[in-house]
Amino acid sequence: MEIIRGTENSGNYNTELYNILVSLPHGILFHSEHSLREPLGIYNVSLNRVLRAFENILIELKEQNNFEKIDLAHKELLESLMAYIDDGYQIMKCFYPKALVNGNIIFADQWLKKVDKQLIVEYKNNIEPFRNKIALIVNKTKHNHARYCHVEGSTLLGKVLGYYIEGIIGGGVICPDTEIHPMFNGEHTAISYNKDIRDNIANLYIISHLMANTIRKIVLKNHGVTLNETLITYEHDEKITTIFKDISLLRLLFFPDEYNGELTQIIIKDKEIRIKKPANNSYRNRLTRPKNWKMKTTMSGDGVTRSWALPYLKFE
C-alpha cells in the first residue's frame, strides 16, 4: 500500500483520518449518548500519545546507552498504537445512537458488531496484517510474562540495534518467541529497530487510512452523507515532519533475515511524504547486504534457567 501526505495533496502531514474528522457535518453524531468526546477530540488525544511515543523512542535510540529506557519507550510506542486502534472503534461508535444495542457491552468493537457486523469484521480483517505483530508483542509482554532481550549486530557497514521477545520451547529453553520471530535458515531471529520504527509509522498511516474508509461507509450508509477529505492545515505539522526526518536518519541496515522480508520505504520531499509498504523491488535491490555478522545479545537471568537459544546462531 502507498500513502501520500503533504501540503499540496492534503494540506498537512497528518493522517487521512484527521482530514475526514475535521470535515464532519453537524447533526450526525451521538457521542454524548456514549459519554465520549467528539470524534476529532478522541483522535487528537490518541494521536498525540502516539507521536510522543515516536519522539521518545527516537531519542533513546539516538543515545543507544540504556536498554531499560529503550524497552520502556518501545513498549509505550506499541501500547499507544494499540490504544489508537481501540480508540478508532470509539470514534465509530459516535455515529450510532446508543439505543441500537441493549445491554452494557464494554468493548467498542463488540458493540459495533451488534449494529453492523459485516462492516466491522471487514475492517478488522483489513487492519489485521498491520495490527497483528503489535498485538502479539503487547499481549505477551503485558499478560504472558514475556521480556525484551536486546541484540546488537556488528558489520563492516556499522552496527544494528534490535530486540527479541522471549519465548520458551521444550526443556525450558528460552528463545525468541516463534510466533513473533519466525525461523530463518534454521536460526532464531530478532527485529531491528531500523526496520521496526519504519514499519510502525507506516502502520499508523495505513490503519488511519482504513479507519477513514470505514467511517466513510458508516456515514454514507446510516446518514446518506458522502465524506470527502478536506484540504486543511494542521498546526503541529512540524512535529510530524521532524519525526519522519528522524526516522529517515535510521540507517538502512537491517538484520540478515529482514532483507528477505517485507520492508517499509519512506520518501521525504519538500512538500510530500510517501510511505510504501511493502517497499518497491528497486528500493530493496539498492540495499547493501552485509555478508559477515557479529551478534551480541544482552539478557537477564532468572536464577533457574540454564539454556538459551540465541538469535542468528544455529540451534539443534
109-164, pLDDT tens digit by residue? 999 999 999 999 999 999 999 999 999 999 999 888 889 999 999 999 999 999 99
* Cell numbers given for 212: 477513514
CA distances (Å), origin 5, targets 184, 203, 286: 35, 14, 25
Asked if the model's pLDDT at residue 34 lies above 80, the reply is yes
Tell me the per-residue pLDDT of 275-302, one tens digit each, with 9 for 90 and over.
Answer: 999 999 999 989 999 988 999 988 776 7
Query: What pLDDT, on a 0 to 100 scale, did the predictor assign at position 305?
Result: 64
| Under 8 Å between Cβ of 137 and 180 | yes
| Under 8 Å between Cβ of 51 and 241 | no
Distance CA 60, CA 58 (A): 5
Asked if the model's pLDDT at residue 316 lies above 60, the reply is no
Q: Is the dihedral of CA 101, 106, 108, 112 positive or negative?
A: negative
Asked if the model's pLDDT at residue 193 lies above 60, the reply is yes
Mean pLDDT over 186-202 rounds to 96
Tell me the per-residue pLDDT of 216-258, one tens digit each, with 9 for 90 and over.
Answer: 999 999 999 999 888 899 999 999 999 999 999 999 999 999 9
171 or 54: which carries more pLDDT confidence? 54
